[in-house]
Structure 1
Amino acid sequence: MAAVGTARSRGSRRPRGGSARVSRRDVLLGLFGPVAVAAAFVPVAAATRSLRAAEPPADIVFDETYRGRRIRGIRTSATSAGRVFDDAQWHVTVDGRPLHLMRRADGTWLSMVDHYRSYGTPLEATRAAVDELGPGRHLREGTEPHMGGDHGVHA
């Protein structure tokens, strides 16, 4: 009989008869194992979220190179007496020079380079202005291209 007791005390987890017995260690690992794994990923997820939070949303700012031109735009809200209005304005530049955009009554946007076509977003209107300017022409410093000269404005 001593041989049977010795075999069980040496680490045999299964009693005779084939039925599986679960130890406390197995139960604890089953309960707290997923929690430990999740806790290990919380700092990684928090760091990723804070990096995303640092980037402004696309409907507030854009900054990209399009057809070799640096286009930037930032949304500025129109305010009056502490109230913010929905009709936001945009400060847009092409290669550091200002491009004036206007919002139409239907919610679309147009630029002063081509004020006969409208676009769904300020970014689309800015890209279209770059397309219209072409590779060799630039916006004038301090003036809009529609204020005289041959700038390809559609009439």
Structure 2
Amino acid sequence: MSKLTRRQTLGAVTGAAAGIALVGVATASADTAPAKGSDKAAAPGGTGGPAPFDEVFQGRRIQGLPAEAHAHAGHSTGYRVLVDGRELHVMQHGKSGWSSAINHYERFADPRDAARTAVTSLKGASVVPFDPTA
């Protein structure tokens, strides 16, 4: 029966560490890459922001509209999303996409995708207003 030598063990551990490092680099570059489809959602008139929307998704009314004056704690996304008339807090992360308070660690191509995923995640529950001072 053969035993592993220190050299073989060190080689296996180094190979595994290199593989993990490559996965980390690939994940980091995917987080900073522009979201798929983010350029197709531009608003008419060349404002560069997402286009407004108003639709029913899974029985819930979702709306998105530009909101230049809308801000909380000094941060302005310039865009407002409503689910059944209640505000869903959304944030734009540079060119890497959008996220919502419901799915904060996921990135979406546009606020419409963030709203749809939030509706799916809520499973019928209502959106609770976001209060940054609480």
* TM-score class, shorter: 0.5 to 0.7
Aligned-partner Cα distance in 2 for 1:122–1:145: 20
Percent sequence identity over matched residues? Answer: 34
Structure 1: runs of 5+ lacking an equivalent: 1-55, 79-86, 149-155
- Superposed displacement of residue 96, structure 1: 0.4
Secondary structure at the counterpart of residue 129 of structure 1? helix
Structure-1-length-normalised TM-score: 0.45
Pair 1:70-2:61 in alignment: yes
Residue identity in the other structure for 2:122: L
Of the two, which has the highest radius of gyration? 1
Q: Deviations over 1:41-96 (max 9, x none)?
A: xxxxxxxxxxxxxxx85943100000000001102347xxxxxxxx9621110000
Write out aligned runs for 1:105-116 (5 A): 105-116=94-105
Q: How many residues align?
A: 82
Aligned partners of 1:108 and 1:118 also within 8 Å: yes
Structure-2-length-normalised TM-score: 0.52
Residue identity in the other structure for 1:124: D
Aligned partners of 1:112 and 1:145 also within 8 Å: no
The runs of at least 4 consecutive aligned structure 1 residues that moved more than 6 Å come to 145-148
Greater RCO between the two (CA within 8 Å, min separation 6)? 2
Aligned-partner Cα distance in 2 for 1:92–1:134: 18
Aligned partners of 2:62 and 2:82 also within 8 Å: yes
Aligned-partner Cα distance in 2 for 1:147–1:100: 14
Which of 29, 51, 57 matches 1:60?
51
Residue identity in the other structure for 1:76: A
Q: 2:127 maps to which residue?
A: 139
Q: 1:63 to 1:126 in 2, by over 3 A?
A: same
Residue identity in the other structure for 1:144: F
Secondary structure at the counterpart of residue 108 of structure 2? coil
Structure 2: runs of 5+ lacking an equivalent: 1-42, 70-75
Aligned-partner Cα distance in 2 for 1:128–1:134: 10
